[in-house]
Structure 1
Amino acid sequence: MRADRAVAAEPADDEVDLAVEIFRLLADATRVRLLSTLRDGELSVNDLAERVAKPQAAVSQHLAKLRMGRMVTTRRQGNQVFYRLANDHVRTLVVDALHHAEHAAGGVPAHHAGGAR
């Protein structure tokens, strides 16, 4: 280990609690699909509902939970609300989870075979 590199400390209890809450939020297929859909940029609730093939009201409820968990942020334009990922950490978390799922399924994962999503 290099001397100028800080040694990572154990996470504080409140950080662990927040991490657990994030995993709870990700324990829902619709929310994972919403976050995955938002990887390429912001979308309105209606666009998200169409892309994940769920009713707009249900998508709004999921997005509210993701917003409370600070995984997405919003921007209002007129009477429309647009959602986007809160930061690159959320993007990385979702991409890594999906890549791990591809590995767990066996065979050559799409992200290794040139079919990265």
Structure 2
Amino acid sequence: MEPTAATPPLLSESDAAAVAEVMQGLSSPARVRILARLLHSPCSVGDLAGDLELGQPTVSNHLRLLRHLDLVTGRRDGRSVVYELHDDHVRALLQQVLAHVHHGDQA
């Protein structure tokens, strides 16, 4: 059956799995805090650890998963790596989720 205006196309199994994997990546408050910090500006693991009051190994482990999910990227800057959000899609996703969470605050 062809999709019509009334019946949107179904999400493929592989796309659903990819979305679920990204959502699982966002299931950790520490990873969400890392991403929220990167909304403001790129920074190193050490800066993230200090800003979020987390251990550097913990931040590194979370960043490894966030890189795997294409939510952050890292670029060499001398001896350190500077992390930033992967792209504007990630920025928009975070901003939308944060707006949704705070939506009830306005009532």
TM beyond 0.5:
yes
- Cα deviation, residue 9, structure 1: 3.7
Q: Where does residue 114 of structure 1 map in the other structure? A: none
The amino acid across from 1:90 in the alignment is: V
- Secondary structure in 2 aligned to 1:84? strand
Give the ranges of 4+ consecutive aligned residues of structure 1 lying more than 2 Å apart after TM superposition.
8-12
Q: Where does residue 81 of structure 1 map in the other structure? A: 81
Q: Where does residue 105 of structure 2 map in the other structure? A: 107
Percent identity of equivalent pairs: 36
Count of residue pairs brought into register by the alignment: 101
Structure 2 regions of 5+ residues with no counterpart? Answer: 1-7
Answering whether residue 23 of structure 2 is matched by residue 34 of structure 1, we say no
- Cα deviation, residue 89, structure 1: 1.0
Answering whether residue 52 of structure 2 is matched by residue 52 of structure 1, we say yes
The amino acid across from 2:11 in the alignment is: P
- Secondary structure in 2 aligned to 1:82? strand
The amino acid across from 1:43 in the alignment is: C
Structure 1 regions of 5+ residues with no counterpart? Answer: 1-7, 110-117
With normalisation by structure 2, the TM-score equals 0.86
The amino acid across from 1:49 in the alignment is: A
